[in-house]
Amino acid sequence: MAILGSGTFFSAALYISLAQHPATLACGVSVGGRFFPPMYNRAAPMQITLALVGFLAGIASWYLNSNFLWLAGALFLISVVPITLIIIKPVNDILLSPDNDPESPATEVLLRRWGQGIACEQL
């Protein structure tokens, strides 16, 4: 379960970073600004669940097998939470705000910053 949860989490994040987000930006800010809220509202619960499953299963595997690598993997996986809260959440809050103009130049800047934050998580 630890490998499945963390592998699926990373695969989804990699797909978003390398394919979906750049393609959305290439369609223009009006598409990107309108696409972001429904995309985020679907992807976030899935990513949170996968990160938690991978983390908890990694902790359980470490406990049962006494292999430090399971603990290290679990801690690396859950490290996305503080990165998300510190770097990405402030951008999310603005992009998801009903007051945000999805076609403004500021939205394009925010979408690009969001993409950089997601890429940072994968390091």
Contacts of 84 (CB under 8 A, 6+ apart): 117, 121
- 29-68 pLDDT tens trace: 989 999 999 999 999 999 999 999 999 999 999 999 989 9
* Of 14, 85, 27, the residue nearest 35 (C-alpha): 27
Q: Which two tokens stand for residue 89?
A: 């959440």
Predicted structure pTM score: 0.84
Tokens, residue 91:
């951008």
In this predicted structure, what is the pLDDT of residue 123?
63
Instruction: Give the mean pLDDT of 20-25.
Output: 92
Quote the pLDDT of residue 119.
75
H or E element: which one contains 87? none
In this predicted structure, which of 39-43, 63-67, 69-73, 78-82 has the lowest mean pLDDT?
78-82
